[in-house]
Structure 1
């Protein structure tokens, strides 16, 4: 597998993760609350979720393809394991579409936080998540999603021009929730979140936060 390298984006993302707004942090906490057992987190970034896993989670396998972000995530994992030794966190190289052998299931949950916007193949990624879960296991998602109206037009315009190249492959106008339901997951709970006022032309403002379950 060729290495994933986005040097400029990695630096920007690393800075952004160190200065996350309180609303984003609260979203991460809500995303992870109630989890237990064995968890697969894909697109772990710098490890921003790690401090928020409940003590009932005994193992997190965190997949991150970008070398710079993965190195930061490994440091974050070591700090969290020192503070909370009941939860083991392993950071491994890999992509959502082709999970490494280190990420073999079954898992009790798969966590996706701000990653499905940037994967190359959404159906293949969700199929990998489905296969990695035990029957009845949960997909937890916290994702940029498409919207309609004038902001949807902004999303389509930036996706067709500079946005994916500037932001590590991120696409703002994806029907991620529809793709999750189409991949064989049953909705458990869902809510829409906005990261900016409705009048602000911020293409990543619409967020979906929810839980879906592998049915079989």
Structure 2
């Protein structure tokens, strides 16, 4: 499986428009919550253009930042130069992480599990590269709690949204997928972001932590 996925139009729009809009809406607070207390060796899956890099706490020794999209990866390499901790940007996909088993103390998935080809494969890979007892931190937009919006999300996912948004899907039940992959979810917060007068299909988010079991996976 190639480690490269090209979405040049999406990459430009995200870097110049969507990312800054989210920052102005206050996403930085949630990024800080996501990364607080991490330590040791960390893998960030789908690092995008590196917006998390300046927010890692000093207790993190090293971040391996995996990004398959070449334009976003180039921007991440620039961002790594001013990161708060050592960051190495690596070409790769969540479904085939280029690391040995049990390489990391923690993994970070930030607004990426919506766009992976197969969540179960990606989460199995994250589990594989985590050490026993390692932590997965996640911040993702997910399926709405409201039936009407879920209908909108399903319609978008079946038509134009994934093509226009770099493979993103709006209706994934990512919290359930994390638990189904064998992680023990220890923290889970569900909230609407950003707050808008008109509901958005990517407004429902979850933020939390899960632990890779210490026992052998068999």
**TM-score interval, smaller chain:** over 0.9
- Which consecutive unaligned segments of at least 5 residues does structure 1 have? none
Q: SS in structure 2 opposite 1:135?
A: strand
The alignment status of 1:64 with 2:67, answered yes or no, reads yes
- Measure, in 1, the Cα distance between the counterparts of 2:48 and 2:167: 14
2:119 maps to 122
1:89 maps to 87
Matched length: 210
- Measure, in 2, the Cα distance between the counterparts of 1:78 and 1:99: 23
Q: Which stretch of the first structure deviates more once superposed, 4-13 or 198-207?
A: 198-207
Contact 1:29–1:52, Cα closer than 8 Å, also in 2: yes
1:9 maps to 10
**How far is 1:22 from its partner?**
4.5
Q: SS in structure 2 opposite 1:146?
A: coil
**How far is 1:79 from its partner?**
1.5
- Measure, in 1, the Cα distance between the counterparts of 2:194 and 2:151: 17
Q: SS in structure 2 opposite 1:38?
A: strand
2:187 maps to 189
The alignment status of 1:137 with 2:139, answered yes or no, reads no
What is the TM-score when the length of structure 1 is the normalising length? Answer: 0.93
1:52 maps to 55
Contact 1:187–1:213, Cα closer than 8 Å, also in 2: yes
2:153 maps to 155
RMSD in angstroms over aligned alpha carbons?
1.5
**How far is 1:2 from its partner?**
6.3
- Measure, in 2, the Cα distance between the counterparts of 1:160 and 1:188: 32
